[in-house]
A and B are shown apart, each in its own frame.
Chain A
Amino acid sequence: MQRKARLVKAAATAAGLLSTTHVGAAPSPEPGFGLPRDVSEYGHHIDWLIEVTAVFTALLFVIMVIWMLWACLKHNEKHEADYDHGESKHSVKTALLLSAVIFFVVDGNLFYNSTTDVFRVFWNHDSVENNPQAVKIEINAHQWAWDARYAGPDGKFNTKDDIITLNDVRVPVGAPVLLQLVSPDVIHSFYLPNLRVKQDAMPGMINRLWFQAKQTGEYDIGCAQHCGVNHYKMKGTLTVLSPDEFKSWAADQSAIGARGYDPKDNEAHWGWEWRARN
């Protein structure tokens, strides 16, 4: 029974690979240094915050280095040291003021932007939960691969028409995608570098992650938590398709899944009832 399910799975994967239309056979390499391509709808918030903070911190660091170099060169042993304990009211006030300014500008900017971005977007799973357009996927992260399950036309998980893939997550462009992550063994972390998000798959818990892609193509899925010997090989592919391609792929996969469905194969029923938390 289990062998049959596995053969079907393999066939499904092969069919899936064959049915990719005009996407490449693999993600395309990243050019140059710096942040990888951003193909997400909201990732630019993170990119912006990283880049702005990088400018601030680079500036502070450069000022510090110039200060130190200047002091070492100009205030060397030939220079007479200033007898100053720095404890005057003026000195203390200046030090505190300087610290405060740096804090409120740099840290303040980080705080404000992260708070709004996280609560409005990245950890706002409930808004996606209630979005009828959202594509819901259950991910079973295990040593050392990603199983993905879609509910299929009946909208229920762990049923006959579920789409089950291995290391292969396909989503339509422009629609929010909501993932529930579990793990039966050790901690893994579902990581989408080109969408700037990750979340741990924690044994004993169901974690959520959502994203929305704005460009078709193939992108890496990585594991970002040390999970054993083959942690480095735990890679998947995120394929972003046009809405029509996605619909036809989903329909095909669902049919394949239904044909190979074996109600007695417990191992294949790793899915769970979707937990919409509110």
Chain B
Amino acid sequence: MEELQHIHPEPTSFIRKWVFSTDHKVIARQFLWAGLLFLAFGGGLAMLIRWQWAYPGEPVPAVGSLLFSGSGGSITPANYNSIFTMHGLIMIFFAITPIMIGAFGNFCIPLMIGARDMAFPKLNMLSFWTFLLSQCLVLASFFVQLGSGAAGWTTYPPLSTNVGTPGLGQTLVVAAIFVTGVATIMGGLNYVTTVVRLRAPGMTYARMPATVWGLWLTAILNVLFVPVLGSAALLLLLDRQFGTQFYVAGSSAVRGGGDPILFQHLFWIFGHPEVYILILPPWGFVTDLVSFFARKPAYWFKGSIFAMSAVTILSAVVYGHHMFVTGMNPMLGQSFMTLTLIISVPAELLFLNWLHTIWKGSIRLTVPMLFALGTIFVFGLGGLTGLFLGTISTDLYLHDTMFVVGHFHLTMAAAAFLGSFAAIYFWFPKMFGRNMNQTLGKWHFWFSAVFITLVFCGQLAAGYAGHQRRLFDPYQYTFLQHLHPLNRWTSYFAFLLGIGQLPFVYNFFRSVFMGTKAEMNPWEIGTLEWTLPSPPVHHNFDTIPTVHRGPHEFANPEVKKALGRDWIGQAEELPKTEKAPAKPAAAAGAS
């Protein structure tokens, strides 16, 4: 391994150190800043949506006169369509992806597998700058005449063609999606290769932390399915700019026209793996964190790895459940429903393993642990609501209602969001060499978890009552008028959720610049990154370690006897035999 990873001299100039750096740790921080910035942006857009539903047509306080000067400070229907479109796109592609996959993928993978950097450091740098370009394209789209994209994040044609949504804004947005896809594929390629090729001696796949598993499986999905989004976007761009007829149908069709459903197939063949792309890293984080902070081995770790891999493999074949009401062949619908129900099984297994891990543990409710438990809570809720949507008959009623919105916000937004914060609070000491304030962290957690639950349960309730999504003014419909108070309260909780992020913003900035110096291993964890200084030096490991055991070796009596503590490092030498026999079956079946 040493011969594969030469120790290069550290860069000295400011530009090479902090701007055009090939150091995965620097690139990770770059992705983190870029992602957090757009997270705030996307969150702001969400606040606008909630304002409109609480007080339809009323001028938005504070920012209204600035943003919507043409309409006296209120949001117009056209604005509203852009707002919910860009909220979705920004959150998925330009906030959560860079934070979880760009930042933590980059930071954690080499460190946790015992490598000095990624397999292709220059490609890594290129992926960040490509990503930044895509963010610029998104920003640019807001300043063009007809506004930004407005066809929903799902960008269905014909609405998203130049017939449905003319103007440069939508084109820029589709181009931004294409460019960010390129950046993602570059990153994914790097992650997959790095995990396969640069694991330290003794670091078998079974000994890799779940975090690496989650990020690696995500990278595999990215590499295979983002290109499909790329084609969908490419064909849409061709239709918009070059007059091709892939998706244009109806009265604008030439010679029979294209097929809007083609886009839906291509989009969801990407789109369903995408939601697993967004959840596999948090699943990885949670699997590790609940073990770390229950001070107990991860229960049936191989089962969890198997579950994550099974979900990865099945992810592409369930996509049709997004298209049940497009008029599909019932037999096809049946197959998609069956597969969708089946894919819930590995997820169930993962939950059981998490619950068993914390049971009879010695739980420390640290901030990362709180966020990990919160992730389990919201994903449990969200995941269960998925059953209603994966089943055809119930989906006939619930499709395109707020129930869907509540479902995916709980599973995708809430779980990824809470999971990302778990990761941020957990690795902050190692990333920045300083500690975050834990009290503020706990406030941040409770505020976030409580209001997230309230907001998205409010959406579930609205959807249950039949409330459609993407409505500028829902109260045009008689059957929705009575839901105005529900929507208003959901909005209040959303505003409080937004305000609840302020302790984090303050904490994060303050800690980066003025936090107390972090120790090497503040959480007392055995994975390899905690054997390095906080933050690690440029080349990470002076000598590549040799790994002897898995990442969740806690509460081992042999270790307690030999070392006087409840944990042992993955590469640590144990004076006596390494593995204690597992306790007899009586303890193992406790539940």
- A/B: CB atoms within 8 Å of each other: yes
Contact residues of A with B, CB < 8 Å? 26-36, 45-46, 49-50, 53-54, 57, 60-61, 64-65, 67-68, 71-72, 75-92, 94-96, 98-100, 102-103, 106-107, 110-111, 113-115, 117-119, 122-123, 183-187, 189, 191, 193-194, 196-200, 202-205, 207-208, 219-220, 222-233, 235
Of B7-15, B66-74, B108-116, B391-399, the one with at least 4 CB within 8 A of chain A: B391-399
In the complex the two chains form, what is the Cα distance from A91 to B165 in whole Å? 56
Interface string of B380-418 (1 = CB under 8 A from A): 110011011001111011111100000000000000000
A49 touches B476 (CB 8 A): no
Looking at the assembled complex, report how far the CB atom of B515 sits from the nearest CB atom of chain A, in whole angstroms. 25
B401 neighbours in A (Cβ, 8 Å): 224
A96 neighbours in B (Cβ, 8 Å): 349
Residue from B152, B259, B296 whose CB has the most chain A CB atoms within 10 Å = B296
A91 touches B392 (CB 8 A): no
B294 touches A81 (CB 8 A): yes
A194 touches B479 (CB 8 A): yes
Q: List 9 A-B contacts (CB under 8 A).
A: A76-B362, A79-B363, A86-B357, A88-B589, A99-B352, A102-B348, A110-B391, A113-B393, A186-B164
A118 touches B465 (CB 8 A): no
Question: Which of B249, B341, B352 lies in contact with A110, CB distance below 8 A?
Answer: B341
- Is B334 close to A, CB under 8 A? yes
A31 neighbours in B (Cβ, 8 Å): 482
- Is B4 close to A, CB under 8 A? no
A53-B394, A81-B566, A118-B392 given; 17 more Cβ-contact pairs under 8 Å: A30-B482, A50-B388, A68-B376, A71-B355, A75-B363, A81-B360, A84-B582, A85-B300, A86-B300, A88-B582, A92-B300, A114-B337, A122-B396, A186-B159, A198-B325, A204-B249, A228-B159
B297 touches A49 (CB 8 A): no
A224 to chain B: closest residue by CB: B400
A229 neighbours in B (Cβ, 8 Å): 77-78, 81
Residue from B341, B391, B472, B583 whose CB has the most chain A CB atoms within 10 Å = B391
In the complex the two chains form, what is the Cα distance from A50 to B465 in whole Å? 12
B299 touches A91 (CB 8 A): yes
B472 to chain A: closest residue by CB: A232
Question: Which of A191, A193, A207, A232 lies in contact with B474, CB distance below 8 A?
Answer: A232
Question: Which of B156, B344, B376, B555 lies in contact with A107, CB distance below 8 A?
Answer: B344
Looking at the assembled complex, report how far the CB atom of A138 sits from the nearest CB atom of chain B, in whole angstroms. 15
The answer to whether residues A232 and B466 also contact, given A114-B337, A203-B158 and a CB cut-off of 8 A, is no
The answer to whether residues A187 and B159 also contact, given A68-B355, A86-B353 and a CB cut-off of 8 A, is yes
Question: Which of B81, B479, B585 lies in contact with A90, CB distance below 8 A?
Answer: B585
In the complex the two chains form, what is the Cα distance from A215 to B493 in whole Å? 38
B352 to chain A: closest residue by CB: A95
Question: Which of B159, B373, B587 lies in contact with A227, CB distance below 8 A?
Answer: B159
The answer to whether residues A77 and B363 also contact, given A60-B384, A185-B163, A198-B325 and a CB cut-off of 8 A, is yes
**Across the A-B interface, the 3 shortest Cβ-Cβ residue pairs:** A203-B250, A204-B249, A86-B299
A191 to chain B: closest residue by CB: B468
Question: Which of A32, A77, A85, A88 lies in contact with B364, CB distance below 8 A?
Answer: A77
The answer to whether residues A72 and B360 also contact, given A49-B394, A57-B385, A225-B400 and a CB cut-off of 8 A, is no
In the complex the two chains form, what is the Cα distance from A118 to B547 in whole Å? 55
In the complex the two chains form, what is the Cα distance from A102 to B474 in whole Å? 37
Question: Which of A67, A90, A122 lies in contact with B355, CB distance below 8 A?
Answer: A67
Contact residues of B with A, CB < 8 Å? 77-78, 81, 151-152, 156-159, 163-165, 249-253, 256-261, 294-303, 325-327, 330, 333-334, 337-338, 341, 344-345, 348-349, 351-353, 355-365, 373, 376-377, 380-381, 384-385, 387-388, 391-394, 396-401, 461, 464-466, 468-474, 476-482, 486, 554-557, 566, 580, 582-583, 585, 587-591
Question: Which of B302, B351, B477 lies in contact with A222, CB distance below 8 A?
Answer: B477
A110 touches B295 (CB 8 A): no
In the complex the two chains form, what is the Cα distance from A197 to B164 in whole Å? 26
A122 touches B164 (CB 8 A): no
A190 to chain B: closest residue by CB: B325
In the complex the two chains form, what is the Cα distance from A186 to B299 in whole Å? 50
Question: Which of A82, A89, A228 lies in contact with B361, CB distance below 8 A?
Answer: A82
B384 touches A91 (CB 8 A): no
A204 touches B257 (CB 8 A): yes
A107 touches B359 (CB 8 A): no
The answer to whether residues A233 and B345 also contact, given A46-B394, A71-B361, A88-B588 and a CB cut-off of 8 A, is no
B353 neighbours in A (Cβ, 8 Å): 86, 95
B296 touches A81 (CB 8 A): yes
A29 touches B481 (CB 8 A): yes
A100 neighbours in B (Cβ, 8 Å): 345
In the complex the two chains form, what is the Cα distance from A29 to B398 in whole Å? 20
A95 touches B356 (CB 8 A): yes
Question: Which of A79, A117, A199, A228 lies in contact with B360, CB distance below 8 A?
Answer: A79
Question: Which of B252, B376, B478 lies in contact with A28, CB distance below 8 A?
Answer: B478
The answer to whether residues A185 and B396 also contact, given A80-B362, A92-B303, A229-B81 and a CB cut-off of 8 A, is no
Looking at the assembled complex, report how far the CB atom of B365 sits from the nearest CB atom of chain A, in whole angstroms. 7
A203 to chain B: closest residue by CB: B250
A83 touches B556 (CB 8 A): yes
In the complex the two chains form, what is the Cα distance from A203 to B556 in whole Å? 64
In the complex the two chains form, what is the Cα distance from A211 to B187 in whole Å? 50
The answer to whether residues A183 and B250 also contact, given A220-B478, A226-B152 and a CB cut-off of 8 A, is yes
In the complex the two chains form, what is the Cα distance from A191 to B480 in whole Å? 13
Residue from B165, B348, B583 whose CB has the most chain A CB atoms within 10 Å = B348
A86 touches B588 (CB 8 A): yes
The answer to whether residues A232 and B356 also contact, given A75-B362, A183-B250, A224-B399 and a CB cut-off of 8 A, is no
A115 to chain B: closest residue by CB: B334
B385 neighbours in A (Cβ, 8 Å): 57
A189 touches B352 (CB 8 A): no
A106 touches B387 (CB 8 A): yes
B476 touches A233 (CB 8 A): yes
Looking at the assembled complex, report how far the CB atom of A209 sits from the nearest CB atom of chain B, in whole angstroms. 9
Question: Which of A64, A84, A94 lies in contact with B296, CB distance below 8 A?
Answer: A84
The answer to whether residues A36 and B466 also contact, given A92-B303, A95-B356 and a CB cut-off of 8 A, is yes
Question: Which of B301, B345, B351, B587 lies in contact with A64, CB distance below 8 A?
Answer: B351
B486 touches A103 (CB 8 A): no
B297 touches A103 (CB 8 A): no
A191 neighbours in B (Cβ, 8 Å): 400, 468
A123 to chain B: closest residue by CB: B330
B252 neighbours in A (Cβ, 8 Å): 185
Question: Which of A94, A197, A231 lies in contact with B471, CB distance below 8 A?
Answer: A231
In the complex the two chains form, what is the Cα distance from A142 to B229 in whole Å? 28
A199 to chain B: closest residue by CB: B325
A111 touches B341 (CB 8 A): yes
In the complex the two chains form, what is the Cα distance from A187 to B555 in whole Å? 58
B301 to chain A: closest residue by CB: A85
Looking at the assembled complex, report how far the CB atom of B368 sits from the nearest CB atom of chain A, in whole angstroms. 14
A49 neighbours in B (Cβ, 8 Å): 391, 393-394
A113 to chain B: closest residue by CB: B393
B468 neighbours in A (Cβ, 8 Å): 191, 222-224
The answer to whether residues A232 and B164 also contact, given A53-B387, A57-B384 and a CB cut-off of 8 A, is no
A220 neighbours in B (Cβ, 8 Å): 477-479
Looking at the assembled complex, report how far the CB atom of A251 sits from the nearest CB atom of chain B, in whole angstroms. 29
B471 touches A232 (CB 8 A): yes
B307 to chain A: closest residue by CB: A99
B297 neighbours in A (Cβ, 8 Å): 83-86
A60 neighbours in B (Cβ, 8 Å): 384
In the complex the two chains form, what is the Cα distance from A219 to B479 in whole Å? 8
Looking at the assembled complex, report how far the CB atom of A30 sits from the nearest CB atom of chain B, in whole angstroms. 5
